[in-house]
Chains A and B, each alone.
Chain A
Amino acid sequence: MNLPTFLGGVHPHEGKELTENKAIEKLMPDSGLFIYPLSQHIGAPCSPIVAKGDRVLVGQKIADTEAFVSAPIYSGVSGTVKEIAMKMTISGSVENCIVIENDGQYEKAPALEKPKNSSEYVKLIREAGIVGMGGACFPTHVKLSPPKDKVINWIIINSAECEPYLSCDNRLMIESPDEILRGLEYVLEIFPNAKGVIAIENNKPEAIKTLTEHNKNSNISIIPHKVKYPQGAEKMIIKTVTGLEVPLVPALPADVGCIVLNTRTTWQICKAIEEGMPVTERVISVTGDAVAVPKNLQVPLGISVKELISACGGFKEEPLKIIAGGPMMGLAMRSIDVPVVKGTSGILTLTKKLAYISEESACIRCGKCVEACPMHLEPTFLDHAVRKKDYETFEAHGGMNCIECGSCAYSCPASRHLVQSYKNGKAAVNAKRRKAAEEAKKKAEAK
Chain B
Amino acid sequence: MSSQLTVSTSPHVHSEFTTRSIMCMVLLALLPSGIMGIYFLGLRSLAVIVACVFACVLSEYLWQKYVMKIQSTISDLSAVVTGLLLAYNLPPTIPLWMAVCGSIFAIIVVKQFYGGVGCNIVNPALAARAMMLISWPTAMTTWTINGVSGATPLAAMKAGTLGKISLCDMAMGNMAGCIGETSSILLIIGGLYLIWEKVISWRIPVIYILTSAILGGLFNHGGGFYPCHEILTGGLLIGAIFMATDYTTSPMTAKGQIIYAFGCGLLTALIRTWGGYPEGVSFSILIMNIAVPLIDMYTESRVFGAPKSNFFKRMGAK
A334 and B303 contact, Cβ closer than 8 Å, known pairs A355-B12, A410-B15, A415-B14 = no
Asked if A184 lies at the interface with its beta carbon under 8 angstroms from chain B, I say: no
Q: Do residues A401 and B305 form an inter-chain contact, with CB atoms below 8 A? A: yes
Asked if B21 lies at the interface with its beta carbon under 8 angstroms from chain A, I say: yes
Quick one: CB contact mask for B1-19 with A, threshold 8 Å, 1 for yes? 1110111111111110111
Give the contacting residue for A332; candidates B5, B22, B301; CB below 8 A: B5
Asked if A67 lies at the interface with its beta carbon under 8 angstroms from chain B, I say: no
Residues in A neighbouring B313, C-beta threshold 8 A? none
Interface 9-mer from B115-123, B210-218, B222-230: B115-123
Residues in B neighbouring A426, C-beta threshold 8 A? none
Q: Do residues A356 and B19 form an inter-chain contact, with CB atoms below 8 A? A: no
Asked if A368 lies at the interface with its beta carbon under 8 angstroms from chain B, I say: yes
A411 to B253, CA, bound (A): 16
A414 and B19 contact, Cβ closer than 8 Å, known pairs A355-B6, A363-B118, A366-B247 = yes
* Interchain residue pairs with CB less than 8 A apart (11): A13-B13, A245-B304, A245-B305, A248-B303, A248-B305, A323-B10, A331-B10, A334-B7, A355-B6, A358-B14, A397-B303
Asked if A409 lies at the interface with its beta carbon under 8 angstroms from chain B, I say: yes
Q: Do residues B13 and A164 form an inter-chain contact, with CB atoms below 8 A? A: yes
Query: Can you name 5 extra interface pairs (CB under 8 A) apart from A377-B303, A410-B14?
Result: A322-B5, A330-B12, A409-B10, A409-B11, A413-B19
A361 to B19, CA, bound (A): 8
- Number of A interface residues at 8 Å Cβ cutoff, please give it: 66
Residues in A neighbouring B73, C-beta threshold 8 A? 361-362
A347 → B minimal CB distance (Å): 12
Q: Do residues A318 and B247 form an inter-chain contact, with CB atoms below 8 A? A: no
Asked if A423 lies at the interface with its beta carbon under 8 angstroms from chain B, I say: yes
Which A residue sits closest to B302, measured CB to CB?
Answer: A376
Q: Do residues A319 and B118 form an inter-chain contact, with CB atoms below 8 A? A: no
Residues in B neighbouring A332, C-beta threshold 8 A? 5-10, 12
Asked if B306 lies at the interface with its beta carbon under 8 angstroms from chain A, I say: yes
Residues in A neighbouring B78, C-beta threshold 8 A? 364
Asked if A100 lies at the interface with its beta carbon under 8 angstroms from chain B, I say: no
Give the contacting residue for A420; candidates B5, B9, B303; CB below 8 A: B9
Residues in A neighbouring B18, C-beta threshold 8 A? 358, 413-415
Interface residues of A in 309-367 (CB under 8 A from B): 315, 318-323, 327-336, 348, 350, 354-358, 361-367
Q: Do residues A92 and B7 form an inter-chain contact, with CB atoms below 8 A? A: yes
Asked if B248 lies at the interface with its beta carbon under 8 angstroms from chain A, I say: yes
Q: Do residues A404 and B10 form an inter-chain contact, with CB atoms below 8 A? A: yes
Residues in B neighbouring A380, C-beta threshold 8 A? 252
Q: Do residues B303 and A401 form an inter-chain contact, with CB atoms below 8 A? A: yes
A367 and B12 contact, Cβ closer than 8 Å, known pairs A247-B305, A334-B7, A361-B73 = no
Residues in A neighbouring B300, C-beta threshold 8 A? 378, 397
A367 to B292, CA, bound (A): 13
Residues in A neighbouring B15, C-beta threshold 8 A? 10, 12, 410-411, 413
A327 to B76, CA, bound (A): 27
Quick one: CB contact mask for B28-69 with A, threshold 8 Å, 1 for yes? 000000000000000000000000000000000000000000
A358 to B250, CA, bound (A): 26
Residues in A neighbouring B76, C-beta threshold 8 A? 361
A378 to B256, CA, bound (A): 13
Residues in B neighbouring A323, C-beta threshold 8 A? 10, 12
A321 to B10, CA, bound (A): 11
Residues in A neighbouring B21, C-beta threshold 8 A? 413
A321 to B13, CA, bound (A): 11
A109 to B252, CA, bound (A): 60
Closest 6 CB pairs of A and B: A406-B11, A367-B252, A398-B303, A356-B14, A366-B247, A362-B118
Q: Do residues A329 and B247 form an inter-chain contact, with CB atoms below 8 A? A: no
Q: Do residues A365 and B247 form an inter-chain contact, with CB atoms below 8 A? A: yes
Asked if A16 lies at the interface with its beta carbon under 8 angstroms from chain B, I say: no
Asked if A207 lies at the interface with its beta carbon under 8 angstroms from chain B, I say: no
B243 → A minimal CB distance (Å): 15
Asked if A45 lies at the interface with its beta carbon under 8 angstroms from chain B, I say: no
A420 to B11, CA, bound (A): 10
Which A residue sits closest to B306, measured CB to CB?
Answer: A248
Residues in A neighbouring B303, C-beta threshold 8 A? 248, 375-377, 397-398, 401
A397 to B297, CA, bound (A): 11
A415 to B19, CA, bound (A): 9
A315 → B minimal CB distance (Å): 7
Q: Do residues B253 and A318 form an inter-chain contact, with CB atoms below 8 A? A: no
User: Which of B6, B14, B73 has the most chain A CB atoms closer than 10 A to its own CB?
Assistant: B14
Interface residues of A in 408-434 (CB under 8 A from B): 409-411, 413-415, 417, 419-420, 423
A245 to B304, CA, bound (A): 7
Residues in A neighbouring B9, C-beta threshold 8 A? 332, 417, 419-420, 423
Asked if A61 lies at the interface with its beta carbon under 8 angstroms from chain B, I say: no
A323 to B6, CA, bound (A): 10
Q: Do residues B13 and A328 form an inter-chain contact, with CB atoms below 8 A? A: yes
Residues in A neighbouring B307, C-beta threshold 8 A? 247
Asked if A41 lies at the interface with its beta carbon under 8 angstroms from chain B, I say: no
Q: Do residues A357 and B8 form an inter-chain contact, with CB atoms below 8 A? A: yes
